[in-house]
Structure 1
């Protein structure tokens, strides 16, 4: 019997409500609608007071450490960040600076970002993809970018973005399933116990 898939989303949004958090939650819901999973949403804006002043992982408060462990133990990771000055938020990078060097190796990662205009859409390929390549994660081919105009009351409203999100999740699921099976213990396998 395999354990449930662990799907974790990280939002780099610093405010509440946040379009990045809404996008992360939307993608997490899409994954959960297709496969049984334990889902978890990490909101970095909520952790900012406990995260921002730390230099070493040993200095982090318990809630931040638990969120880092959730990311490291995830079977699939969804990341969404607002675009600030052409890149992810500083707090987003600071959080991932504490992730273990090998914790994301071969982990499927779905990349997403939000911004004020279309001109930042390539940030996914020019900023997020290299960051997760450093971790040797498997960044999934389709990223999702949404502008402020794609939302109504902090919910995705643009049908083209909604369809792209669905397509990204559908294309990701075979890799996620393959990775999850390879990590799950095989019934009767005493080496895995």
Structure 2
């Protein structure tokens, strides 16, 4: 039976692929979460790879990850909306970010809305969203939302997001993305009702 989502907060799970704390990537993730919360009642959870990375870095199979990481994997798989973000490292997301998603069930993210975000040293890395992130989540058959968010080092003052352009991009990404999330919820509820009628 598919859960009806109408009467509970939207479960939003964010994954920050940064290997360091504090992190500009995590600051960007928080800005996206705050913007979503302006428009929607949400339950938020942030997974920081800088925190949990040492717990699963040496695991070769999901059965080898500790219970704490298994809990995080289940949160990813059960989220209503995923936010995934990584600093650009050698032209792609961090290896530990990919390693975490190697443990996610192959069919667990089908049609799940995913908002893509990244940070990097300069604007030349912005296409990582299109050339690295979208293919990865295309493999999972997830629904990557139309607009991603990229921020470079110059968009921050220390660990504060200061760029009005990036803030506007965050708002646009959320406003354009939430209708896809709501449509998916309605479709799931309709399927649930249809199946229940049988």
> TM-score, with normalisation over the residues of structure 2?
0.91
1:16 is matched with which residue?
21
1:153 aligns with 2:187: no
Any unmatched runs of 5+ in structure 1? none
Deviation at 1:13, TM superposition (A): 0.7
2:3 is matched with which residue?
none
2:84 is matched with which residue?
79
**Distance in 1 between the 2:132 and 2:41 partners?**
31
Deviation at 1:76, TM superposition (A): 0.6
1:178 is matched with which residue?
183
Deviation at 1:188, TM superposition (A): 8.8
3-state SS of paired residue (1:41): strand
1:116 aligns with 2:111: no
Cα distance 1:123–1:187, how it changes in 2: closer, same or farther (>3 A)? closer
Deviation at 1:186, TM superposition (A): 9.6
3-state SS of paired residue (1:191): helix
Q: Note if contact 1:3-1:184 (Cα within 8 Å) is conserved in structure 2.
A: no
- RMSD between superposed Cα atoms in Å: 1.9
**Distance in 2 between the 1:4 and 1:186 partners?**
20
Q: How does 1:24-103 map to 2 (within 5 A)?
A: 24-103=29-108
Deviation at 1:184, TM superposition (A): 4.7
**Distance in 1 between the 2:89 and 2:140 partners?**
22
Any unmatched runs of 5+ in structure 2? 1-5
> Comparing 28-37 with 178-187, which one deviates more in the overlay?
178-187
1:144 aligns with 2:121: no
Q: Aligned residue pairs: how many?
A: 192
2:109 is matched with which residue?
104
Deviation at 1:3, TM superposition (A): 2.6
3-state SS of paired residue (1:112): strand
